[in-house]
Structure 1
Amino acid sequence: MGARQGHGLLHETALEGFEAEGMRAMQQARSRELVVRLFNEGLALLRDVDFDGLSIEALCMRADSTVGAFYSRFENKEAFINALQRVVVALTRQGIVADYETHVAPGDNLVHLVDWIAKGATAWYRRYEGLVRASLRRANGEPEMWTPMRELGELQISYALPRILALLPKAISDGADERVRFAFQMLFGTLNNMVLINPGPFTIQHPTTARWLAVAMTQFIETPTRTTSKF
């Protein structure tokens, strides 16, 4: 996921031209200011409560809003979370594209590039941990809830894959495409697992999580594909 986004706080510029199902159009600056406050307080609350435990009353109190004002902008809690997810995804997509197309992503060697990818992904998961957890749990009954998140990973792979392959020696290029894709599956799968069930011993907040993920990815990518015998 993208490395840009400041500290995870959304700003009014994020709502320019933004639309989502179940969210009413914002014609006035005052409406956009309120929606941004609701979104930011929603992100904060989701760190401590799950989707089912998210109280509209508590959200509105934190955002200095009324429940009536909330429902004048969102049809229900589901519409609010869906809109929040989509605005975060839209901003993250912009960040991914900008980082790769403006050459923020390291291009000198594989270790630096994968380290940058793992650190950026871990920082993003930390920033939006509650939203990711809510999306994963809702995806059990609503598979489409994870689609926007999955597409973010696919976008990053589409940019990172050719850059990683270009940095590999020819001697280990055979099968490298699949190894890179699986390395990303290791990255996202591990981070999702940490956010969803926190199995330990390492957590999303552990200071070495990003570094060790980068090491695991790099070593796997650099390990030549071997043909194994059938069982």
Structure 2
Amino acid sequence: MNIDSHYGVKPAVAPDGWEVPVPMQERSRKTAERFVQVALQLLREKTFAELSVAELARKAGRSVGVFYQRFNSKDDFLHVLLSAYFREALEWREAVRPEGEPATIYAEILARGFHGIMENRNLWHAALERSAADPEFWKVYRSFRERAVEITLRAMEASSDRQFSDEERRQLAIAGQVFNSVINNQIINSPGPLRLEDEDFLPELTRIAVKLAGL
């Protein structure tokens, strides 16, 4: 994962109540990036709840004290990890080429998003658990979501050489909401009948989303 290089030692408070990164010295920046990279690797094998700061510090070759110098708490560190995840998601969306039919482009973006969540399933599970306890949790990521929608629309409109109507945009928003909601429900509850690991889960869910989007 390509980690953005602006994690602050002690973040400043943003207007929306969350704490945003501030510039830091090169050495401190690399230390913060090291914690993020190691944490994302460890979360491939264990849940966020199972991940201890002591283990993270040991694997990163740093001390627990250094971790708390860079991040206020483990809870705040979750936001740092999610910000890194969303930044990467914006980067690959920007790289999507507006070639082919809008439905093809939309399916490609849905697939990339799905695989990104699957690769970071424990991170996403932690975020969903936190949001269940805190209705305001996702508010800080509104700009990421809006940017992701904008990039997706831009690619699809470029491929069709026209702007989408308000109704078409609404249908896309509904399709995306359904697609994400089904995945989130599977991660938290795994209700079936299709499960995330099933070969036909993504194709079936993509087919439904494309149909809902009217593509």
Structure-2 change in CA distance of 1:174 and 1:55 (3 Å): closer
Q: Equivalences for 1:121-136 in 2 at 5 Å?
A: 121-136=113-128
- Please tell me the root mean square deviation across aligned C-alpha atoms, in Å: 3.2
| Structure 2: gaps spanning 5 or more residues | 12-18
Distance 2:22 2:148 in 1: 31
Structure-2 change in CA distance of 1:129 and 1:109 (3 Å): same
Q: Find the partner of 1:64 among 61, 64, 75.
A: 61
Residue 131 of structure 2 corresponds to which residue in structure 1? 139
Instruction: Give, in angstroms, the shift of residue 23 of structure 1.
Output: 6.5
| Structure 1: gaps spanning 5 or more residues | 1-8, 168-172, 224-231
Matched, 1:219 2:211: yes
The 3-state SS of whatever aligns with 1:222 is coil
Residue 15 of structure 2 corresponds to which residue in structure 1? none
Instruction: Give, in angstroms, the shift of residue 56 of structure 1.
Output: 0.8
Residue 192 of structure 2 corresponds to which residue in structure 1? 200
Letter paired with 1:52: A
1:58-88 CA distance string (max 9 Å, x none): 1112222221221222222122222222233
TM-score (norm 2): 0.75
Compare relative contact order (CA 8 Å, sep 6+) and give the higher one, 1 or 2: 1
Matched, 1:45 2:42: yes
TM-score (norm 1): 0.71
Number of corresponding residues? 202
Q: Equivalences for 1:61-100 in 2 at 5 Å?
A: 61-96=58-93, 98-99=94-95
1:198-223 CA distance string (max 9 Å, x none): 33343434443332222112222338
- 8 Å CA contact 2:82–2:123 kept in 1: the answer is yes
Instruction: Give, in angstroms, the shift of residue 149 of structure 1.
Output: 4.5
Distance 2:143 2:198 in 1: 26
Instruction: Give, in angstroms, the shift of residue 122 of structure 1.
Output: 0.8
The 3-state SS of whatever aligns with 2:103 is helix
- 8 Å CA contact 1:179–1:220 kept in 2: the answer is yes
Q: Equivalences for 1:105-120 in 2 at 5 Å?
A: 105-120=97-112
- 8 Å CA contact 1:122–1:204 kept in 2: the answer is no
Structure-2 change in CA distance of 1:86 and 1:37 (3 Å): same
Structure-2 change in CA distance of 1:24 and 1:221 (3 Å): closer
Distance 2:23 2:150 in 1: 33
Distance 1:194 1:28 in 2: 41
Matched, 1:210 2:202: yes
The structure 1 segments of at least 4 consecutive aligned residues displaced by more than 6 Å after TM superposition are: none
Residue 34 of structure 1 corresponds to which residue in structure 2? 31
Letter paired with 1:208: D
**Greater shift in the superposed pair: 189-198 or 132-141:** 189-198
Letter paired with 2:187: V
